[in-house]
A and B are shown apart, each in its own frame.
Chain A
Amino acid sequence: MHDTHYLLAVLCLPFLGSVIAAALPQAGRNWASAIAGTIALAGFALVAAFYPAVAAGEVIRHQAPWLPSLGLQFTLRLDGFTWLFALLVLAIGALVILYARYYMSPKDPVPRFFAFLQAFMGAMLGIVLSGNLIQLAFFWELTSLFSFLLIGYWHHNQGARDGARMALIVTGFGGVCMLVGFLLIGRMAGSYDVDAVLAAGPAIRSHEAYLPALILVLLGAFTKSAQVPFHFWLPHAMAAPTPVSAYLHSATMVKAGIFLLILLWPVLSGTESWYLIVTTAGLATLLVGAWSAIFQQDLKGLLAYSTISHLGLITLLLGLGSPLAAVAAIFHTINHATFKASLFMAVGIIDHETGTRDFRRLSGLAKFMPVTATLAMVAAAAMAGVPLLNGFLSKEMFLAEALEAHSGTVIDVVLPYLATLASAFSVFYSIRFIHKTFFGPAPTNIPRIPHEAPHWMRVPIEILVLACLLVGVLPALTIGPFLGIAVEAVLAERTPAYSLSIWHGFNLPLLMSVTALVGGGLAYSRFGSRLDTIERSPVIGRLRARRTFEAVLAAIVDTARALHRTLGTRRLQVQLRLLIGTAILLGSLPFLFLGYSVGPVPISLIDPVFALLWLIGGLCAIGAAWQAKFHRLVALSLIGGAGLATSISFIWLSAPDLGLTQLLVEIVTLVLLLLGLRWLPLRKPDVWTQARVPLMVQLRRARDLIIALLGGLGMAALSYAMMTRPRTDSISRYFVENAYPEGGGANVVNVILVDFRGFDTLGEITVLAIVALTVFTLLRRFRPAPESIELPHQQQRQNDFDHAEEDRAHGDTLAHYLFVPRIIMQWLFPLILTFSVYLLMRGHDLPGGGFAGGVTASIAILLLYMAGGTRWVEARLDIRPLRWISAGLLIAAGTGAAAWLFGRPFLTSYFTYLPVPLIGDVPVASALVFDIGVFTVVVGTTVLILIALAHQSIRSPLKKKKPAGEVNLVDAPEGGN
């Protein structure tokens, strides 16, 4: 089977299953587990079917472009080693799923559990199958993320939350380091592709960046695989449901670090630094884990530390750097996964049946659950390294390797003794586990009367234990060929001769094994009974890695808070001053260093009219700045003056589109701000205690003035320097030359907007729509300040007048206010609307377009509102700006998507000439349809914003039923003074 798409299916199926499980109802326990199990088995079958190719030494690759511009391909890769690892992940995954179906209580949200578990499985497969380091790092982070969710599954439990957070922080930290290491490796190898990296081993090892890259990658692997000193997260992760522990701590999560070490072993190992770092870390982990496991009072705690110790053993083997040690590491990885998964499951059954995992309360369970007891004993014996079980074989290989001289350092001398010692510890805690739990008198102090677990809950354990036995008795017939292809894939031409038989004669490793077994057994009979009173591991119990972790975490948080307190401010004015000050400083730095000079281009003569225009415009701007505090309406009018000058300048400077749009937007903005004026408080002159402005305030204002003047001066100087320099060639040339041939439009600006850069415009109208929705939503909850609720003065006076006169009804004056202009405004409505459509249609060739047309149309509607009042208009017209916005977005996006139908990229435009009788050839461009979308969104947005604002006045509780013309809203409390 060579279709590499099956590989993609293997990776995607678990994620698909995760999504399905997430959508199931809470009661869908059976469905969720059935789907998850089927998917795991299907994945297993798909991977297994690659056996012939993999066994022939082939590397199967599936590639798809991912980020081609960065030279990154999405690559899936399957060689002998990853094949075996993927099978392990899927097989144990399937067993865990079966087990979890019976373990999880129907009261828990079980589908969510399976959603997380499958997503985790997918992420783990992603690591294993990745043929590219960056992609591997991505899936690596995904496993951290999903393990966080799995460990914290019982999130009502503080321990689960803490454990999940700790695992996430530690492994996430390692993941970031690893990514940086990968970047370095990618730089050294010239590619992130795993095969390319594997081929570049010698170049990487002799590169000067080898050591930093090695340390960073190892940080990733060590944190994931819980190597000392990062081992502390693993015991805390035991707060997870037991199926999670069985999966994460046997075949997956912690093995990801081991996987990485093995994957990169041919590239990174074989140097002195590799040997020293990896061996030391592995040895320390082996001893610390085994020693601590002895003193645990919690069954899962024992298994957790035992896992740490076995991970240390594998790391140690990999650190030694010899091919035989690598074989032993791969072999032990598989063996550990099988017996550790079964042990976790057995502990889960004990916990499930008795309600406790505490050694001090458990005893004599063999009578109550003989099958589980037998299974657990076999698995524990495999863990201890008893002959005829798989653990024995790899442990023998480990001991044999420990005897070999690898470096000539002190490690060579002590390793055999320490290895034997660690094995003895392992025997010790395995015996304790079995003896305390299953033997002795019947338990007295447990919550429930235990009995055997349901049959199907035991099946996974039975399968795993059977595997332990078969591999242990007939290694060459069972695991032999598979181990062979895995080893071949990793070691290639360095593959050593090794023998998988049980009996190698009387030799030193056997003697060490026997010593460990006997020593561990004797030690247990001597000290075992005293362990129940010990609360923490002697000697190393004082080294609380967890406390250090928390202290570091607290220090980081405290530092961040202190920095925030000293450097941060919540005051907007201070922030703005800092921002602008920095901008001015940075902007002037080049001038300070390189000097300011005027460019060589001769300047054009000032047109007196243009000068006059800006004399007025400048005065307007200054006046607005001067008056904005006390005379808002005046300031608003002056801003309008400056805006008008800007608009005229645009037209003057050959930008008719801008002039038009600016003018129209100016109108809408003015109405907008006028509508807002009513809700502002009356500003009274400042009352200072000493009857004059205090010095501090004067100084503050002087400082602001200086910053403002500096900013203005800087901008003026910069503009002048820029305008007197020749223009460099830009992409504009392309736009001008191709606007007509390619875009079918004569108005280059419009062609850029709706064709060349149509995607930007699509983004922009989306922003507009979002802003309009935000405004709309904010205003729905708007509560005006109490003093703004009253009717404006003018309306009050008008109503008072109506009340005073006998022949006038309430609201008559208001209804007749500006009567003639209102009629004219109503009559203008169709004219303006027609004009807006005209602007839209001609936009492709002449100034106009969707933006200008849209604003024009909204002005037409606005005028109608101002003339007739909100209620009058809405009784007669169907104003649905929300629908217009959605329709516009759909039209614009649909025009873009239509290009797909013709096999072109998104937003590819099309234009042609249609012969129309009488009129002749009429240009038809898809860009026009896009522009209609823009038009509709702009109308919808503008109208939605303004109408939402206008509606605030008729929501006001004091309002009478009489319609209110929008004109009246214009009169702010201090309007016109």
Chain B
Amino acid sequence: MEVALSLAIGILTASGLWLLFRPRTFQVILGLSLLSYAVNLFIIAAGRLRTDAPPIVGKGPADAAAYADPLPQALVLTAIVISFATTALLLVVLMASRGLTGTDHVDGEDGEA
């Protein structure tokens, strides 16, 4: 599993970075989405991989070793919602910039393609 997840994180990162360097705003937004998947998975991986052990405890005393690490999950949960907000903000900035400058180039002017 570790191998598969590492590869997945690697591929998501590489695709995201490639898009991040593109000159068109839409590409950059998609790149950031991919990057955020990669980072979120990475944070989850920091709690190590557990299957069938969701951190939902019983009413009695709980043994931490029996459950997946809840801390990265709490971090990622907020990250997911925040990344939606940033995507929205970027999209609107993109639209405004396009309306003002007439181009969707990240610098507001058509330099390199």
Q: Which residues of A contact B (CB under 8 A)?
A: 570-573, 576-577, 580, 603-607, 610-611, 614, 617-618, 621-622, 624-625, 628-629, 632, 635-636, 639, 642-643, 645-646, 649-650, 652-658, 661-662, 665, 668-669, 672-673, 676, 679-681, 683, 686, 697, 700, 704-705, 707-709, 711-720, 722-724, 727, 730-733, 735-737, 739-740, 746-749, 752-753, 757, 760-761, 764, 767-768, 771-772, 774-775, 778-779, 781-785, 845-847, 851, 855, 938, 941-942, 945, 949, 952
B44-A650 in contact (CB<8A): yes
A653-B68 in contact (CB<8A): yes
Find chain B residues with CB under 8 A from A604 CB.
1-2, 49
B68-A753 in contact (CB<8A): no
Find chain A residues with CB under 8 A from B42 CB.
715, 718-719
Q: Nearest CB to that of A602 among chain B residues?
A: B2
With A636-B30, A657-B73, A778-B92 already in contact, the answer to whether A716 and B67 are too (CB < 8 A) is no
Question: In whole Å, how far is A784's beta carbon from the nearest beta carbon of chain B?
Answer: 5
Q: Could you list 26 A-B pairs, sorted by A, with CB under 8 Å?
A: A576-B20, A617-B11, A621-B16, A624-B19, A642-B34, A645-B8, A646-B12, A654-B51, A655-B68, A658-B40, A661-B80, A662-B80, A681-B98, A681-B104, A700-B112, A707-B17, A717-B6, A730-B71, A736-B64, A737-B64, A740-B62, A747-B56, A749-B74, A753-B77, A767-B85, A785-B98
Query: 8 tightest A-B contacts by CB?
Result: A712-B14, A716-B10, A654-B68, A708-B17, A625-B15, A748-B70, A708-B18, A720-B6
Partner of A768, one of B20, B23, B81, B95: B81
Q: Nearest CB to that of B84 among chain A residues?
A: A665
Find chain A residues with CB under 8 A from B44 CB.
649-650, 653, 655, 658
B27-A629 in contact (CB<8A): yes
Q: Nearest CB to that of A577 among chain B residues?
A: B21
With A639-B33, A700-B112, A748-B67 already in contact, the answer to whether A603 and B2 are too (CB < 8 A) is yes
Question: In whole Å, how far is B56's beta carbon from the nearest beta carbon of chain A?
Answer: 5
Find chain B residues with CB under 8 A from A739 CB.
57, 62, 70
Measured in the bound complex, the distance between the Cα atoms of B96 and A299 in whole Å is 58
Find chain B residues with CB under 8 A from A723 CB.
2, 5-6, 45, 48-49
With A749-B70, A760-B78 already in contact, the answer to whether A740 and B85 are too (CB < 8 A) is no
Question: In whole Å, how far is B63's beta carbon from the nearest beta carbon of chain A?
Answer: 8
Measured in the bound complex, the distance between the Cα atoms of B84 and A942 in whole Å is 9
Q: Nearest CB to that of A572 among chain B residues?
A: B106
Partner of A711, one of B7, B8, B13: B13
B56-A785 in contact (CB<8A): no
Measured in the bound complex, the distance between the Cα atoms of B37 and A714 in whole Å is 16
A774-B6 in contact (CB<8A): no
- Residue among A577, A625, A737 with most chain B CB within 10 A: A625
Question: In whole Å, how far is A297's beta carbon from the nearest beta carbon of chain B?
Answer: 55
A643-B111 in contact (CB<8A): no
A-B contact sample (17 more), CB < 8 A, given A716-B6, A749-B74:
A571-B111, A604-B49, A624-B15, A625-B18, A625-B19, A625-B30, A625-B31, A628-B19, A628-B26, A649-B8, A653-B50, A658-B77, A669-B87, A720-B6, A739-B62, A746-B59, A779-B92
Find chain B residues with CB under 8 A from A847 CB.
54, 56
Find chain A residues with CB under 8 A from B21 CB.
573, 576-577, 580, 704, 707-708
B2-A654 in contact (CB<8A): no
Measured in the bound complex, the distance between the Cα atoms of B44 and A646 in whole Å is 11
Partner of A736, one of B7, B37, B55, B82: B55
Task: Name B's interface SS.
Answer: helix
B6-A764 in contact (CB<8A): no
Find chain A residues with CB under 8 A from B17 CB.
580, 707-708, 711-712
Q: Nearest CB to that of A725 among chain B residues?
A: B48
B88-A775 in contact (CB<8A): yes
Find chain A residues with CB under 8 A from B15 CB.
621-622, 624-625, 708, 712
- Residue among B5, B46, B77, B104 with most chain A CB within 10 A: B77
A851-B77 in contact (CB<8A): yes
Q: Nearest CB to that of B29 among chain A residues?
A: A673
Measured in the bound complex, the distance between the Cα atoms of B15 and A704 in whole Å is 11
A720-B2 in contact (CB<8A): yes
With A716-B6, A749-B77 already in contact, the answer to whether A735 and B70 are too (CB < 8 A) is yes
Partner of B89, one of A603, A720, A722, A774: A774
| Chain B contact patch, size range | 35 or more
A628-B30 in contact (CB<8A): yes
A845-B6 in contact (CB<8A): no
Task: Name A's interface SS.
Answer: helix
A851-B113 in contact (CB<8A): no
Find chain A residues with CB under 8 A from B68 CB.
653-655
Find chain B residues with CB under 8 A from A714 CB.
13
Measured in the bound complex, the distance between the Cα atoms of B75 and A811 in whole Å is 48
Find chain B residues with CB under 8 A from A707 CB.
17, 21
Question: In whole Å, how far is A205's beta carbon from the nearest beta carbon of chain B?
Answer: 51
Partner of A570, one of B6, B83, B104, B107: B107
A606-B73 in contact (CB<8A): no
A746-B98 in contact (CB<8A): no
Q: Nearest CB to that of B99 among chain A residues?
A: A783
Measured in the bound complex, the distance between the Cα atoms of B68 and A847 in whole Å is 14
Find chain B residues with CB under 8 A from A942 CB.
84
A622-B10 in contact (CB<8A): no
Question: In whole Å, how far is B20's beta carbon from the nearest beta carbon of chain A?
Answer: 6
A643-B33 in contact (CB<8A): yes
A573-B106 in contact (CB<8A): yes
- Residue among B16, B28, B42 with most chain A CB within 10 A: B16
A747-B38 in contact (CB<8A): no
With A676-B95, A683-B24, A715-B42 already in contact, the answer to whether A736 and B47 are too (CB < 8 A) is no
Q: Nearest CB to that of B27 among chain A residues?
A: A628
Measured in the bound complex, the distance between the Cα atoms of B87 and A327 in whole Å is 68
B94-A736 in contact (CB<8A): no
A697-B71 in contact (CB<8A): no
Partner of A665, one of B2, B81, B113: B81
Question: In whole Å, how far is A600's beta carbon from the nearest beta carbon of chain B?
Answer: 13
B56-A845 in contact (CB<8A): yes
A646-B78 in contact (CB<8A): no
Question: In whole Å, how far is B16's beta carbon from the nearest beta carbon of chain A?
Answer: 8
Measured in the bound complex, the distance between the Cα atoms of B106 and A528 in whole Å is 71
With A656-B54, A752-B70, A771-B86 already in contact, the answer to whether A679 and B99 are too (CB < 8 A) is yes
A732-B88 in contact (CB<8A): no
B49-A673 in contact (CB<8A): no
Find chain A residues with CB under 8 A from B99 CB.
679, 782-785
Measured in the bound complex, the distance between the Cα atoms of B8 and A732 in whole Å is 26
B8-A665 in contact (CB<8A): no
Measured in the bound complex, the distance between the Cα atoms of B93 and A657 in whole Å is 31
Measured in the bound complex, the distance between the Cα atoms of B17 and A577 in whole Å is 9
Q: Nearest CB to that of A675 among chain B residues?
A: B91
With A650-B44, A716-B7 already in contact, the answer to whether A732 and B69 are too (CB < 8 A) is yes
A761-B78 in contact (CB<8A): yes
A722-B46 in contact (CB<8A): yes
Question: In whole Å, how far is B106's beta carbon from the nearest beta carbon of chain A?
Answer: 4
Find chain A residues with CB under 8 A from B81 CB.
661, 665, 764, 768, 851, 855, 938
Partner of B74, one of A603, A624, A650, A757: A757
Question: In whole Å, how far is A140's beta carbon from the nearest beta carbon of chain B?
Answer: 40
Partner of B76, one of A655, A748, A938: A655
A713-B10 in contact (CB<8A): yes
A736-B96 in contact (CB<8A): no
Measured in the bound complex, the distance between the Cα atoms of B90 and A669 in whole Å is 12
Measured in the bound complex, the distance between the Cα atoms of B13 and A390 in whole Å is 79
Q: Nearest CB to that of A946 among chain B residues?
A: B88
A624-B95 in contact (CB<8A): no
Find chain A residues with CB under 8 A from B22 CB.
628-629, 704
Partner of B14, one of A658, A676, A711: A711
B49-A653 in contact (CB<8A): yes
B78-A764 in contact (CB<8A): yes
Question: In whole Å, how far is A47's beta carbon from the nearest beta carbon of chain B?
Answer: 52
Find chain B residues with CB under 8 A from A646 CB.
12, 37, 40-41
Measured in the bound complex, the distance between the Cα atoms of B112 and A528 in whole Å is 74
Measured in the bound complex, the distance between the Cα atoms of B44 and A778 in whole Å is 35
